Amino acid sequence: MKKMMKKVVVILSMAMLVCGLAACGGDSAKNSDTITFGTNAEFPPFEFVASNGVIGQYDGIDMSIAKQIAEKNGMTAEIENMEFDSLLIALENGQIDAVIAGMTVTDERKEEADFSTPYYEATQVMIVKEDSDIKKASDMAGKRICVIQGYTGETCVNDMGYSYEAFKKGTEAVMELVNGKCDVVVIDSATAKKYVSDNEGLKIVEDPAAFEGEQYAIAVKKGNTELLDKINKVIEEMLADGTISDLAVKYSEAE
């Protein structure tokens, strides 16, 4: 009898432990000790797939930032990799807790999500063949322009009134350029540098007068101030102590 009691107690306490760990009873599908970050790991040096990344197979500046945000809050970072266009929808649905994807803060996106303190300054640039006669944005008139679907580069080119072809991935657009099927790819500066160093015969053309500065920030669901505060605290620390600029240097130099 005594033995059986003991067994019951053990089973009960085990169930309670499991329940506690899995945060039973909450309506959230996710563990309370995990931050699930959505990204689109097609954007080096911010996020890309690597055999040995900082979070599983995911590596890059953003992935390192995500990891530190979670760890400094005593939590674990998990990554959900998806199409860039799906990120804000997944955030709205509760499939992910936050978006970290080199995502530029725009007025349009601010209607859909709340953004953290910006952590990186970027701009759109043009990638062209080394012998290209494109020297400024207006030289794109009449050229075959490639952009990436849903990126701010697409919005820029669209606002300039040029027609373009949109690709799902930066690498696909760059391949079109390399193969001579397009004349210019408009994409974010740091990613452009990566593609130019990975492919022969390409160069970057900047036109700061035509492309406004952009700021990358992390997005959370509208009104999720609890998570936003946790994120901002760590971002501000990482900006102040130079961690983010160190990461930017490290990942931009890495082959």
- The yes or no reply on residue 43 touching ligand ARG (CB under 6 A) is yes
Please name the amino acid found at residue 34: T
| Cα 74 from Cα 68, distance rounded (Å) | 10
Compare residues 84 and 211 and give the one whose CB is closer to ligand ARG: 84
Write the interaction track for ligand ARG spanning residues 119-158; mark x where CB under 6 A is met and - where it is not.
Answer: --------------------------------xx------
# of chain residues touching ligand ARG (CB under 6 A)? 13
Among 96, 103, 202, 218, binds ligand ARG (CB under 6 A): 103
Among 36, 64, 68, 104, binds ligand ARG (CB under 6 A): 104
**42-43 vs 47-49, strand pairing mode:** antiparallel
Write the interaction track for ligand ARG spanning residues 169-188; mark x where CB under 6 A is met and - where it is not.
Answer: -------------------x
Please choose, out of 15-23, 42-50, 125-133, 237-245, the segment that lies near ligand ARG by the rule CB under 6 A.
42-50
Compare residues 84 and 119 and give the one whose CB is closer to ligand ARG: 84
Collapsing DSSP to helix, strand or coil, 173 comes out as helix
- The yes or no reply on residue 64 touching ligand ARG (CB under 6 A) is no
- Could you tell me which residues come within 8 angstroms of residue 55 by beta carbon, excluding any fewer than 6 positions away? 63, 66, 67, 77, 78, 79
Cα–Cα distances in angstroms (integers) from residue 73 to residues 78, 208, 217, 231, in the given order: 14, 38, 18, 9
- The yes or no reply on residue 39 touching ligand ARG (CB under 6 A) is yes
Among 47, 59, 78, 97, binds ligand ARG (CB under 6 A): 47
| Cα 75 from Cα 220, distance rounded (Å) | 16
Question: Which helix H or strand E contains 191, and what residues bound it?
Answer: helix 189-198
